[in-house]
Amino acid sequence: MSDPVPLGDLVPGLERERRLAEIRREAERRGKLDVVGGRPPGAPFPQATPETGYYKIPLLKEPPWKWEIPLYFFVGGAAGAAAVVGAIADYTGVDRKLVKHARWIAAAGSVISPVLLVADLGRPARFLAMLRVFKPQSPMSMGVWTLVGFSSGAAAAAFAGFLSDRYGPSLPLRWLENAGQAASLAFGLPFSNYTGVLIGATAIPVWNRNVGDLPLHFAASGLAAAVGMLELMGHGKNRALQALGLGAGIFESWEGLRIEGRSDPHLDPLKHGASGWTTRTGGVLSGPVPTILRLLSALGGKRRSASLRRWAAWSAIAGSLITRFAWIRAGHASARDWKLPLEIRSE
Amino acid sequence: MLKDLLSRWPLIQQIQTGADGTGPEAMSERTRNLRPKTDGAEVARSICPYCGVGCGQLVFHKDGKLISIEGDPESPISRGHLCPKGADTYELHTHPGRLTKVKYRRPYSRHWDQIELEQAMDRVAERLWESRERTFQETCDGETLMQTTAIAHLGGATLDIEENYLIRKLFTVGLGMVSISNQARI
Amino acid sequence: MSVTAFLTDSTLCIGCKACEVACKEWNGIEGDGLDWSGFSYDNTGAVGASTWRHVKFVERAPVPGLGGNAGEQASWTFSSDVCKHCEQAGCLEACPTGSIVRTEFGGVFIQPDVCNGCGYCVTACPFGVVARNEQDGRAFKCTFCYDRQKVGLRPACAKACPTESIQFGEIDELREKARLRLEELHRRGMDDAAFYDPTHTSVRGTHAMFIIRGDPRTYNLPPSPQVPTIYLKKGWRSSALAAGLLLGGTLLALLTDGRSGR
Amino acid sequence: MPGLGTSFGRGGATTAQQDLSNADAILIMGSSMAENHPVGFQWVMEAREKGAKVIHVDPRYTRTSAMADIWLPLRAGTDILFLGALVNYVLENNREFREYVVHYTNASAILREDFRDTEDLDGLFSGWDAPKNKYSPESWLYQGAPSKETGGEKAGHSDVGGGHGKDRGGEAQDASQFESDPTLEHPRCVFQVLKRHFSRYTPEMVERYCGVPEDVFLKAADAFSSASGPERTAAICYAVGWTQHSKGVQIIRTASILQLLLGNIGRPGGGILALRGHASIQGSTDIPTLYDILPGYLPMPLFESDSHQLEDYIKKHSTRTGLWSKFDHYFVSLMKAYYGDGAAKDNDWGFHWLPRITGDHSHFGYWLDMADGKLEGLFVMGQNPAVGASNGRLERKALAKLKWLVVRDMVETETASFWYASPEVERGELSPETIGTEVFLFPAAGTAEKAGTFTNTQRLLQHREKAVDPPGDARSEAWFMYHLGRRIKEKAKNDARSRNAGLRALTWNYSVEGLHTEPKVDEILEEINGYTLPGRVQLTKIKELRNDGSTACGAWIYCGVFPEPGHNRANERNPRDLLGHGWGFSWPNDCRIIYNRASARPDGQPWSERKKLVWWDEEKKEWTGLDNPDYEKNVAPDEPANIHSGTGIKALGGAKPFILHPDGVGWIYVASGLKDGPLPAHYEPLESLFHNPLYRQQTNPGAQKKERPDNPYAESPGDPRFPYVLTTYRLTEHHTAGGMTRTLSHLAELQPELFTEISPELAAELGLTHGDWATITTPRGLVEARVMVTPRMRPVRIDGRVLHQVGLPYHWGYRGQVTGDIVNDLLAISEEPNVRIMETKALVCNLVPGRRARGSAARQQLDAQLGRTA
């Protein structure tokens, strides 16, 4: 028997043994190696644990929607609110022109909305598939039927109004106009805010955490946009619109404060990162900016007042639009979160 | 006709039955008539071509086309199960990268040519015969040798025993090729 | 027609991925990318539009003398994930076209000829299962091999599974089987063995149940998944309030001050 | 498989996969069964669920370890030390199954006085002929057995020849008159020699040199060895993790010794299961495409020693007792199958037409000749040596020296495209303009597109039906061979030269069918099964073979698979029981567990009710039971053996289960038939970091390194340039060289890239980052791989030193949907002495962060690696 020959330099001492044990403990504990040795530290390796979930791969899938859907949210919100304003204006007999313009916004919305949905789906036939069933438990199904009702009503009212203007009133036209207007009011009310339920009743945490606020928020946002549009269409001096715009702006400001004030980690996408900044931009443009501008306009002179209201209108419209995109972006960020859907506490 | 159309409209059925649109009332014609793709296919009983476990496979085919390959539940070894490789046998046979023509590369050429199968067979027979003519040794120092070591063969462990039998019979016993080997050296 | 389910037992799973391939072969799904993830031996990441079965690999540092079947420590566990086919399914409730239906076997099935690609089901799934195909936009997920079940065949994944880690059968029988299995595993010293079947939440149980070792979050299984329809009530209440406020506010504004703008 | 062949008599798995479910303990070593034989592994799982202990020994923690009860990390290449320690543990603790050992093994045989063990000669057995570099093994024989010196009619050994002939159970040995001691007390009896031989293989040594902690070893040793005795059995599964070593055969031998001592062969839940990596590996050794054997393990005649008379050849290879006493029947019948009417008694049945082998014509043997420009043509069928073979650079460069190359495969493999796509072309070592090789690439049929038969890992012949025609010009190998043969026969027809006499006589009249004129494979299998002449009645069992030319049989061991026309037993599909009787045909004689006479006590009754398999039916006077008896059906257990003077199979009497051995017992000690010793001894791998802790002899003395400039080695032991141990392996998601998996989307996506598995410790030491690249180098080559840092790899502590082991799966190449560097470029061409297999499971390497160089710079990097300047 021969004695094993040691291999000189290659044989480590106890110290190296200890270091290896240290490295292993570190690796097991953190899934990462920061031990400082003669060489640069490295070699973190991903782990699946109750603290990291499954390699930090997000549990949820991101919403698959592109730009069409948030734009649709915006258009639908504005159109629905406009229809309401138009109908009430008609019933209260306030201002024929306001009624007409509001109807036009509603009618434009009733055309653009399905076009956006078809663009999102890819083919017109795919839109028709939505009419196969009626599902109260699906906000999207409810929304589609609302859209159908709203679009028919708003389009009929606008069309009948257009014909009476052109060829003179007649009973059937009158009847069509009234029915259309009634429908656009009835459907316009939910249509302006159902998209809040739509995204609220999903598995995306940032959305479902706000399901109680979202319809109100979206309704206010839609109203603000509708008011802004009407103001820009020549109703810049209408004080009712000013009041409605002010109301929406105040609500939006309050909504913004509410979000900022809560420390729920589920709301992080609304506060941090790109989606957070988008949300804040939309919030500022929807809430404080138009509110302050409107208040200032009430104080200032005539010309200055008109200009301030125009700015307020633009701000509200832009805020409303950005807000919808912000919520969708926040939904993406929330779905990418590997922690909260798994009920892992943020550090 | 209209009635027929309407009766197929799930919404009408919903109204008639009070269903919520998540059950049979919402099923399409295709769904109602759904059948597995192997329905009506012929079955050949086969064995997995990958490892040595020897799992049974059922090869479903219709009109000369493969439909699906899955495990044979009657196999006492595999009991219908397959591993990922065995489960992918259908793709093995049908993937677009499969060769279907003879590729031929002339000496010093930079590219493949395509030649006809019969022509390729003739040429291979020719090369084999010529090389054997050149290198065959009947005897060495007066002793029987009957071999050529200059032509070799490699492969066999994924071939059938009948094919291996022919390889050994023609190459070694007929032509005297002794350099014959495959993966199964142990 | 019996109500069926999967019981996927990770203490029997050898991580071979036969289920993934058998599923793709049967359903004619293309491969979905050739990226090396570095997440143990898992290179497909999660179930999605083109991966309906997916095997997860959970590594821990092994100790000499203890194999993975030792009760003391789970060291490398594998678990084949799939659509949960919830008893109360978010996607099914959300689908506006009636494309998603519940079959006579209790599974949740997306009818590809009906699906219009609205994508709402994607956001409605609390397990992140449903996904939209990038090419044609339609949503896809495990079909529970509805076509096979219709003629009495087992789903392709369960059939292929070499070690019968994926079991398929009548749901109540499987629940009972799982209970006995869990007792057996605990008896063997696997105190961390657990049964995942969220009956206690609004999902009300699933048709794809799992036996795992350790915390479900390790396997990306949410401890208490909720079907999003639970938010409807609150949402519609808010919607009604919003409508009321809109109506009332508009009425008030126009009645009091509508004319003065002119 | 001479390891199993010499120990038990047949070179095949002794049991069926399903039978693993009967085991009480299963040792999986040299295999990651769950990864590479997942469907077979269900039977291990079934046993485990029934309470069997599953023990996995592997340098890496694999998917198999994850299913095992006990995992033992091992330094790659120390398997014999580990198994030897298990043998020692059994002997030290009297755990052997004494009655089995006394009656069914050669433990009692007494060795010659001049035998010297490795303990005496520091790592060599007596008879080492240093100048010739091989053993002269006369002294290994039993005391009293005839030998050259004693003027025995037949010497115990031939000097040359390959190893696969030994699959048939050792060389023909005259078993007459050897001495034995049934008390096992004689100091020179095998049992006592074995005790001394393994006495230094202790748990302490295992801890110190295998890296397995002593308590862990003892836990496994107790679990395994307690599954022994009348009521319990244990099985062993292995694969190429044992065979691909410079001492692979002896590793399997050690396992065989262990199983014989524990009485686990021929019994339900026992046995040794060799897990084969290809669909018909077993089939391609039974019906060999190997240079040194003919079908049924009949040895190829050797130049000079077998050049003369058929009589001498037959005498040399047959035995007086046991199944090999009928060697002439098997051989003459084979000649009749080959040459038909051309084979007659007066031309020695065509014996003189058969080629003689003159040396090492194995893959590596002829490939090195190819590299030296000595070959003209090569056929490659369904294999991909450009990726799958050791030292790929040498392999591929050798292809460029051929005049012509024929490749048959379902896809364009790396082997077919070496001339324009290989790394050598990238590195500028080769270019198409300078390669004169004419390449034919034929499209091959898939398994669903042709009928045929595979022999699986458990010796089971299973027939496949044809489903559809192959696409385009794709054809089966049967078609190719048949039509090539037709053309060749045509050329020979009018060529009267004596060299073509055999070719002219060769029977080649198979009928054809179908669109593509495919030969009828059933006719080929009928010929393999055998028939009478001239009546052509199918044979039904081996006993019907004759030596007078009245039977033809293509492979005697397969006789019975096609007992009558239209009745292909390989295509039977009605399994009746766990062992699968009624499904396929298991050679020999449809026995599912071979040597199953050992499942009964010497008196013919089962050892226990729980472990019964085959027993003697006193009323019917025949062997009966749950399997077909692997024994003479009507020889009663009390029939006395007459080994010393009897002849034929009857001479073994009624209680000698290993009927291929002339003495009818299992061989703990292999007196003849192995080139590297009668007992296994631990040697270090050819490339190792350590000195052999047991003997001065460092490596297996018989192993051939084939060292040459294009096949260089690291200095051994302890080359400072290569401080880590490298081990290569397969993944579940791919198949060998990848031609059948990297081309498929569903599999390529599951393991898309080559990676190397290393421990967190090694990563920290080298500054390697998970997911980054590393370059692994050996003296032969360098490959780059993604780094997978995993706690499943752990350093072992060897002799006070921390040893890192590096894992590399080897499936990637330069074609297919996913590509990567070729790991086999790192390996050396080396040859184990018995079967000439290469060492792939234990070598040394270095690892550096970062990717390898590209283009001609890669060549410089490679040359620098080889210690040369570019």
Walk me through the domains of chain A, giving residue ranges and CATH numbers: 68-342 (1.20.1630.10)
Residues of chain C neighbouring D786 (CB-CB closer than 8 A): 36, 38
pLDDT of residue A168: 87
pLDDT of residue D161: 39
Q: Does D6 touch chain B (CB under 8 A)?
A: no
Mean pLDDT of C103-131: 97
For residue D159, pLDDT beyond 50: no
Q: How far apart are CA B52 and CA D454, in angstroms?
A: 9
Which residue in D70, D32, D223, D38 sits closest to C68, CA to CA?
D70
**Contact (CB<8Å) D788/C38:** yes
pTM given for the model: 0.94
Mean pLDDT of D3-7: 92
What token pair was written down for C95?
A: 């689908």
**Contact (CB<8Å) B44/D485:** no
What token pair was written down for D432?
A: 């198409």
pLDDT of residue D866: 64
Query: Are residues D64 and D241 in contact, defined by beta-carbon separation less than 8 angstroms?
Result: no
For residue A225, pLDDT beyond 90: yes
Q: Does B63 touch chain A (CB under 8 A)?
A: no
Query: Are residues D727 and D842 in contact, defined by beta-carbon separation less than 8 angstroms?
Result: yes
Shortest distance between the Cα of C183 and any Cα of chain B, in A, equals: 27
Residues of chain B neighbouring A132 (CB-CB closer than 8 A): 9-11, 21, 26
Q: How far apart are CA C74 and CA C67, in angstroms?
A: 8
What token pair was written down for D582?
A: 């009624």
pLDDT tens string B71-91 = 999 999 999 999 999 999 999
For residue D549, with 0-12 CB atoms within 10 Å meaning exposed, 13-18 middle and 19 or more buried, which class applies? middle
**Contact (CB<8Å) D573/B74:** yes
For chain C, how are helix, strand and coil distributed in percent, rounded to 5? Answer: 30, 20, 50
Which sign, positive or negative, has the C-alpha torsion A174, A180, A182, A185? negative
**Contact (CB<8Å) A42/D801:** no
Dihedral (Cα; C17, C19, C20, C24), 10-degree rounding: 140
Residue-range domain boundaries for chain D: 2-102+180-277, 319-453+475-561, 724-865
Q: Does D469 touch chain A (CB under 8 A)?
A: no
Residues of chain D neighbouring B176 (CB-CB closer than 8 A): 355, 499, 502
Which of A128, A130, A131, A133 is most worth mutating to test chain B (most B CB atoms within 10 A of its CB)?
A133
pLDDT of residue C259: 54
What does the DSSP 8-state code read for residue D443? E
Residue A42 is nearest to which of D695, D763, D790, comparing CB atoms? D763
Q: Nearest 5 degrees, angle CA B170-CA B176-CA B182?
A: 70
Chain A residue nearest residue C215, CA to CA: A50
> D319-453+475-561: what CATH class?
alpha beta
For residue A8, pLDDT beyond 50: no
DSSP per position, B87-118 = HTHHHHHH-TT---SEEEE-TT-SS-EEE-HH
For chain D, how are helix, strand and coil distributed in percent, rounded to 5? Answer: 30, 15, 55
Residues of chain C neighbouring D61 (CB-CB closer than 8 A): 62, 75-76
Shortest distance between the Cα of B118 and any Cα of chain D, in A, equals: 10
Shortest distance between the Cα of B41 and any Cα of chain D, in A, equals: 11
Q: Does D237 touch chain B (CB under 8 A)?
A: no
D724-865: CATH architecture? Beta Barrel (2.40)
pLDDT of residue D168: 47
Q: How far apart are CA D682 and CA D685, in angstroms?
A: 9
Q: Which has more confidence, D230 or C1?
A: D230
Q: Nearest 5 degrees, angle CA D695-CA D696-CA D700?
A: 75
Residues of chain D neighbouring B171 (CB-CB closer than 8 A): 379
Shortest distance between the Cα of B25 and any Cα of chain D, in A, equals: 36
For residue C97, pLDDT beyond 90: yes
For residue D3, pLDDT beyond 70: yes
For residue C224, pLDDT beyond 80: yes
Which residue in D107, D93, D78 sits closest to D256, CA to CA?
D107
Q: Which has more confidence, D561 or A38?
A: D561
pLDDT of residue A26: 67
Chain D residue nearest residue A32, CA to CA: D760
Shortest distance between the Cα of C153 and any Cα of chain A, in A, equals: 31
Residue B22 is nearest to which of C22, C102, C114, comparing CB atoms? C102
DSSP per position, chain B = -HHHHHHHSHHHHHHHH---SSSGGG--HHHHT---TTTT-EEEEEE-SSSTT--EEEEEEETTEEEEEEE-TT-TTTTT---HHHHTHHHHHH-TT---SEEEE-TT-SS-EEE-HHHHHHHHHHHHHHHHHHH-EEEETTEEEEEEEEEEEE--TTS-HHHHHHHIIIIIIIT-EEEEE-S---
Adjacent-strand bridge partners of D439: B105, D405
Hey, how many other C-beta atoms are within 10 angstroms of the C-beta on D698?
18
Residue ranges of B 9-28 with Cβ closer than 8 A to chain A: 9-11, 14, 20-22, 25-26
- Residue D149's pLDDT band (cuts 50, 70, 90): low
**C130 SS3 class:** coil
Topology given in CATH for the domain delimited by D2-102+180-277? Dimethylsulfoxide Reductase; domain 2 (3.40.228)
pLDDT of residue D855: 86
For residue D438, pLDDT beyond 70: yes
Shortest distance between the Cα of B85 and any Cα of chain A, in A, equals: 26
What token pair was written down for D630?
A: 């692997």
Q: How far apart are CA D108 and CA D33, in angstroms?
A: 35
Residues of chain C neighbouring A219 (CB-CB closer than 8 A): 239, 242-243, 245-246
Shortest distance between the Cα of C227 and any Cα of chain A, in A, equals: 7
Residues of chain A neighbouring D797 (CB-CB closer than 8 A): 17
Which of C161, C163, C229 is most worth mutating to test chain B (most B CB atoms within 10 A of its CB)?
C161
Question: Is cis: bond before D588, omega within 30 of 0?
Answer: yes
Residues 6+ apart with CB under 8 A from D227: D23, D24, D25, D52, D53, D233, D234, D262, D264
Lowest mean pLDDT among A266-275, B140-149, D31-40, D305-314: D305-314
Which of B15, B17, B83 is most worth mutating to test chain C (most C CB atoms within 10 A of its CB)?
B83
**D520 SS3 class:** coil
pLDDT tens string D831-856 = 999 888 899 888 999 999 999 998 88
Residue-range domain boundaries for chain B: 2-32, 42-94, 99-134, 136-186
Q: Does B55 touch chain D (CB under 8 A)?
A: yes
**Contact (CB<8Å) C18/B36:** no
**D585 SS3 class:** strand
pLDDT tens string D625-678 = 999 999 999 999 999 999 888 999 999 999 999 999 999 999 999 998 899 999
**Contact (CB<8Å) C15/D751:** no
pLDDT tens string D72-108 = 999 999 999 999 999 999 999 999 999 999 999 999 9
pLDDT of residue A347: 55
Q: How far apart are CA B161 and CA D460, in angstroms?
A: 12
Shortest distance between the Cα of C188 and any Cα of chain A, in A, equals: 23
Which of A2, A22, A56 is most worth mutating to test chain D (most D CB atoms within 10 A of its CB)?
A2
Shortest distance between the Cα of B35 and any Cα of chain C, in A, equals: 5
One-letter amino acid at A242 equals Q
Residues of chain C neighbouring D746 (CB-CB closer than 8 A): 20-21, 24-25, 31
Which residue in B162, B177, B182, B163 sits closest to D503, CA to CA?
B177
Chain D residue nearest residue A17, CA to CA: D802
Q: How far apart are CA B53 and CA B34, in angstroms?
A: 35
Residues of chain B neighbouring C96 (CB-CB closer than 8 A): none
Burial per residue of A147-179, b for 16 or more beta-carbon CB atoms within 10 angstroms, e otherwise: bbbbbbbbbbbbbbbbbeeeeeeeeebeebbee
Q: How far apart are CA D667 and CA D571, in angstroms?
A: 35
One-letter amino acid at B160 equals D
Touching B: which chains, 3+ CB pairs < 8 A? A, C, D
Q: Percentage of chain D surpassing pLDDT 70?
A: 96
**Distances D494 to B148, B176, D744 between C-alpha atoms, Å:** 21, 18, 48
**CATH classification code of B42-94:** 2.20.25.90
Residue D791 is nearest to which of A16, A27, A37, comparing CB atoms? A27
Touching D: which chains, 3+ CB pairs < 8 A? A, B, C
pLDDT of residue A23: 67
Residue B11 is nearest to which of A134, A136, A137, comparing CB atoms? A134
For chain A, how are helix, strand and coil distributed in percent, rounded to 5? Answer: 75, 0, 25
DSSP per position, D682-707 = ----SS-SS--SS-S--S-TT-B---
What token pair was written down for B142?
A: 């007066």
Which residue shows structure tokens 């990097």?
D861
